[in-house]
């Protein structure tokens, strides 16, 4: 589980905005870091993988056909619940295809990568504070990292394009006002139990599993720590 000092957590509680146009800066209601594999689960997994199989079980395994054996030895990806459930439109006119999975979502264009899915606002101070950090991370050109940010304070598309240019943003930006993007926001809110406070991060490992859900501003060290941890989960 991603751990941050309690002093930082306290500060983050005061660094979130409402995505509603009429909302002013307000404290976040959620301060949550989620790593789905708990220490107890890791211990249980370790025990299950080191247990010596019985003689009878060994005989059964030996009788398995070569085809079945190969199939069992192949790493499995998580179960897909729905294929191409959303087609998101980026600010540059590109399409991102989203598949629904048991423990998260998969961007077809970014399979096998760590994905930082962010929800931000153009007039949200902590959101603006994250932009230079994300730009620097994107500039490092990690081949296994995709940064996707959705603007949710309803800035018109033409103005958002100017905003992106003015800020020198070098990662993928989407507008709530285009295509299926608004439906996708509602979908994420339901699955992640997100109340709308921003900035909001959903960090996804290379298998499409959501590993970190966080409301509030993050700094360079926090983003890098999350990326480095998830990039090892290939």
Q: Are residues 111 and 186 in the same domain?
A: yes
60-101 pLDDT, tens per residue? 444 444 344 434 433 345 666 788 899 999 999 999 999 999
> What is the pLDDT at residue 90?
98
Flag whether 191 is in a domain: yes
Q: Does residue 137 share a domain with residue 21?
A: yes
**Chosen domain end from 73, 92, 119:** 73
Cα gap 73→85, rounded to integer Å: 30
The model's pLDDT over 121-147, given as tens digits with 9 standing for 90+, comes to 999 999 999 999 999 999 999 999 999
Averaged pLDDT score across all residues of the chain: 78
- CATH assignment of the domain containing 165: 3.40.30.10
Asked if 207 and 136 sit in the same domain, the reply is yes
The pTM of this model reads 0.70
Residue 59 forms part of a structural domain:
yes
Task: Report DSSP state, residue 97.
Answer: E
In a domain, 1, yes or no: no
Residues of the chain with pLDDT under 70: 1-16, 19-80
Percentage with pLDDT > 90 across the chain:
63
- Asked if 102 and 64 sit in the same domain, the reply is no
Contact of 103 with 192, CB cutoff 8 Å: no
Q: Among all chains, which residue has been given the structure tokens 């406070």?
A: 197
pLDDT of residue 49: 34
């Amino acid at each position: 589980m991603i751990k941050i000092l309690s002093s930082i957590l306290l500060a983050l509680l005061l660094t979130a905005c409402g995505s509603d146009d009429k909302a002013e800066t307000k404290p976040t209601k959620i301060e949550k870091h989620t790593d789905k594999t708990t220490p107890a689960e890791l211990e249980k997994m370790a025990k299950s993988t080191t247990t010596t199989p019985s003689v009878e079980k060994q005989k059964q395994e030996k009788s398995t056909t070569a085809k079945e054996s190969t199939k069992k030895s192949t790493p499995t990806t998580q179960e897909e619940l729905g294929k191409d459930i959303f087609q998101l439109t980026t600010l540059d006119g590109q399409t991102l295809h989203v598949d629904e999975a048991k423990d998260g979502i998969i961007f077809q264009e970014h399979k096998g990568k760590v994905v930082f899915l962010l929800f931000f606002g153009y007039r949200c101070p902590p959101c603006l504070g994250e932009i230079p950090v994300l730009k620097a991370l994107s500039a490092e050109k990690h081949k296994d990292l995709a940064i996707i940010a959705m603007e949710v304070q309803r800035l018109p598309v033409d103005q958002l394009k100017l905003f992106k240019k003015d800020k020198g943003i070098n990662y993928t930006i989407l507008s709530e006002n285009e295509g299926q993007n608004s439906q996708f926001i509602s979908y994420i809110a339901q699955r992640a139990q997100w109340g709308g406070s921003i900035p909001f991060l959903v960090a996804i490992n290379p298998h499409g599993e959501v590993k970190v859900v966080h409301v509030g501003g993050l700094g360079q060290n926090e983003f890098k720590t999350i990326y480095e941890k998830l990039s090892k989960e290939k």
